[in-house]
Structure 1
Amino acid sequence: MATTEQTVTVQSAGGTEQNVVVVQQPAAVPDNQLMVTEIKGHREWSTGLFDVCSDVTTSLLGFFCLNYLKCTLASRTGEGCLMPFCVTGAMIITRSRIRTMGGIEGSAFKDCIVTNFCEPCAVCQMHRELSNMGIN
């Protein structure tokens, strides 16, 4: 998309006129004010699913204390600590929530596959992602 420049004359508070070059026009307001993000994310996860060496502490917690890490994830995403143990599919929901919060590409189907077949790795990845997003 080509950038067009436009020169506009504006009057300052003191009454003097100045020429201002406008490089970027204001963006159009979306039609649906209720939608806060696009359906498809705009980025990938900041760490890989099997990127266990990037955060050894989280990896050890995921291996030895998975339930503690699940509880921490639920709390960090605004849910109750018992959510992973009381809600069917809680890690799928948590993963989808983190993807939405971070604008991460993916789908509910992929979330389901990853959390059902690689749950410890998925929980560790979600924990690292929240840390990288600055959510403690």
Structure 2
Amino acid sequence: MAWTVSTQPQALGPAGGLDWASGICDCWEDKKQCCCAFWCCPCFACRTTKEFGQCLCLPLLDALDCLHPITMSIRVSMRHRYGIKGNLCEDCLCSTFCLPCVWCQMASEMKKRQLPTVLSDLIVR
């Protein structure tokens, strides 16, 4: 049995042309979400990652390092999937110094776009 990926996830907007639906410091727009991200960031990050279609426990690996590579990877993936402007340097800085704000921004992005999770189609041969 061999698994092959027939299609890759595609950006759902113009490649690199849109801005985030909310700014990195706009987490106060949704106070409930903001409080959850601030007081229990690991739980909030896990829930957001699952809603994005990734492994629920993936953000817990960030606890092993001060650079938060998983948060940065999810942010980069979200930018590419939704066609949001940005660069790796900005993603790294935000993920390192504004962790709860980054998770709020990503959760808000998914809510505002109300787009379904896109998973790769798998073909069994």
Deviations 1:96-127 (A, max 9, x none): 11111111000111100001011111111111
For structure 1, which segment, 37-46 or 74-83, has the greater mean C-alpha deviation from structure 2 after superposition? 37-46
Equivalent position to 2:71, from 87, 91, 100? 91
Secondary structure of 2:53 counterpart: coil
Provide the rounded CA distance (Å) in 1 between the counterparts of 2:104 and 2:38. 9
Partner residue in 2 for 1:25: none
Cα 1:35–1:131 change in 2 (3 A) is closer
TM-score (norm 1): 0.67
Equivalent residue, structure 1, for 2:87: 107
Show structure 1 runs of 5+ residues with no match. Answer: 1-33
2:54 to 72, 79, 89: 79
Distance 1:135 1:35, change over 3 A: closer
Q: Relative contact order, CA 8 A, sep 6+: which one is greater?
A: 2
Segment drifting more, 64-73 vs 86-95: 86-95
Change (3 A) 1:39 1:112: farther
Aligned twin of 1:49: 24
Cα distance, 1:63 vs structure 2: 1.1
1:134 maps to 2:109 = no
Stretches of 4+ moved more than 2 A in 1? Answer: 34-40
Aligned length: 103
Where structure 2 has 5 or more consecutive residues not aligned to the other structure, the ranges are 1-7, 63-67, 117-125
Query: Please, what is the CA RMSD of the aligned residues?
Result: 2.4
| TM-score, scaled relative to structure 2 | 0.73
Equivalent residues of 2:94, 2:102 under 8 A apart: yes
Q: Which has the higher strand share?
A: 1
SS of aligned partner of 2:16 = coil
Correspondent of 1:63 among 38, 44, 65: 38
Partner of 2:3: none
